[in-house]
Chains A and B, each alone.
Chain A
Amino acid sequence: VTESAAVFTPAEYMPSFDAACPQQAYHDLVAASPFESPEGMPIITRMAEVVALNRHPAVHATDGVHFNLGGTRPLIPLDLDGAEHTRFRKLLDPLFSPRAVSRLSDPVRALTNELIDGFAGKGEVELFEAFCAPLPSRTFIRLLGLPTADLDRFLEFKEATVRPPGATESEREANRRRAGEAMYAYLEGVLGDRRRELPRDDLISGFLTTEDADAGRLTDEEVIDICYLLVIAGLDTVASSLSCLVAWLAQHPVERDRLVQEPSLLPAAIEELMRFESPVHLGHRWVAEDIEIDGRRVPAGTKVMVVWASANLDPEVIPEPLTVDLGRVDTRHVSFASGFHRCLGSHLARLELRIALEELHRRLPDYSITPGERPSYINYGVRAAFRLPLSFTPTT
């Protein structure tokens, strides 16, 4: 039995697919609905279907046997459903609310400026390595309370779980598993150490000492299963998103200038760019009972692919979806998913994206793609401009 050739995104099924600008292809996928992959997996792309599916009680995050991102146990809270999921969201939501994450504004701004100091005088930079990748990683390691010295280990781990090497899905899954096993062992060691120390002002201490009337105390295994997911989520998604947003603005100087002149437009502009770029382009769901979603019958036992990137370009919901309009204030999008599994870290992501762009625009207002170069995009796992050569007027 041979497995079909690797397709990193369902947008590749459309003739219009272009890795640098996949939006036309994601948009065409909506028009092609109802659509199935060559293997027969339903691909859900219309906004109405996506939102209905994400909040349907019979639609689960996993099949209960296979877990996301190399996990051998359900990742918390991503791989849980129903009452168990609610128990953990009750505990975690307040830690990631806009109010809670706003406490990180000053440290994130300081870190942002420290990184910009490293290249502001040079007039050019490869921004992904110098800025987009380290900013969220260092922010997150600090928030969680893991040692900064271990950062390379986390980066290696998240790369192997988000974009595992391998020619076939079984090879990729084996590589994901191997990285996962190493991470479980590492986190067990960290928790052992932390149990012997006094609590600190970070999330790991919070998890170890929390005692909620509903949620109760967390076991070591539960804390590990939360941290496992948070390390991946915190290290990759914001780095990728930031690179996509800066790459777009670097190629659209009129819009960039407008945001430089009026930083108050940034929050709305970030929503519109997140809609258009949809860095986390899709998720999977398991249908546990025969259901009907927006007039489409899906039988029990079906694994479906849910494409946020297409829903965000659904002309039924977004007028002129292929136009980026930074003045659009009522942008509707599901770039942070929707329903029960709405991204826990979405408010932290927004804070980091806003501060990063505010400081870039304040200090390097005329950044653009270095002449003769172009950004390189990857659409595997999470979309990113993984090579982003920028030029700007040097400053101190």
Chain B
Amino acid sequence: MTSGARMLGEVASGGHDRPSTHRVTVDPQRCCGHGRCYSLVPELFDSDDAGYAVVRSTEIGEQLVQRALGAATACPEQAIAVTPVREEEGRK
């Protein structure tokens, strides 16, 4: 891909005092810069200089989950994964 999406880790997680329940990732190999995610949920996704997706906060609380899933549905490349944290840990 011309300019890979990258994750900034726990940047601007909004100082949420509620616990994180889900993990959000963007697959940089799949992102093609449609920009649907950062226009739908700008608190969670941002654009890099070339217009490709960047995750602002990889860990999110319950209040953002529905909208994160909406962004994942809207992504034409299906590059966004929203996974419950507990389920992931259970697998380890």
Q: Please report A residues at the B interface, Cβ cutoff 8 Å.
A: 51, 55, 86, 89-90, 93-94, 96-99, 267-268, 271, 329-334, 336, 338-340, 342, 346-347
Contacts and interface: CB of A to CB of B under 8 A. Distances in A.
A97 B50 contact: yes
A90 B71 contact: no
B74 A332 contact: yes
B64 interface: no
A336 B34 contact: yes
Nearest to A88: B2
Contact of B50 (A93, A268, A271, A339): A93
Interface of B: 1-3, 30, 32-36, 38-40, 47, 49-52, 69-71, 73-78
B73 A332 contact: yes
Lowest 4 CB-CB distances: which A-B pairs, in order? Answer: A97-B51, A93-B50, A330-B70, A330-B73
B77 A98 contact: no
A329 B77 CA distance: 17
A329 B39 CA distance: 11
Contact of B74 (A86, A99, A331, A347): A331
A77 to B, nearest CB: 10
Contact of B77 (A51, A89, A267, A333): A51
A89 B34 CA distance: 14
B81 to A, nearest CB: 15
A93 B33 contact: yes
A346 B2 contact: no
Nearest to A85: B2
A99 B47 CA distance: 8
A93 B48 CA distance: 10
B51 A347 contact: yes
A323 B72 CA distance: 21
Given A90-B50, A96-B51, A347-B35, A330 B71 contact: yes
B70 A329 contact: yes
Contact of A86 (B2, B30, B34, B69): B2
Contacts of A267: 39
A347 B3 CA distance: 16
B2 A338 contact: no
Contacts of B73: 330, 332
Contacts of A332: 36, 73-76
A99 B49 contact: yes
Contacts of B47: 97-99
Contacts of A268: 40
Contacts of B69: 330
A340 B2 CA distance: 9
Contact of B2 (A90, A99, A333): A90
B49 A342 contact: no
A205 to B, nearest CB: 20
A338 B76 contact: yes
Given A267-B39, A331-B74, 16 more contacts: A51-B78, A89-B2, A93-B33, A93-B50, A93-B52, A97-B49, A98-B39, A99-B51, A330-B71, A330-B73, A332-B75, A333-B76, A338-B34, A340-B32, A342-B33, A346-B34
A55 B33 CA distance: 13
Nearest to A311: B76
A346 B50 contact: no
Contacts of B35: 98, 346-347
A271 B2 contact: no
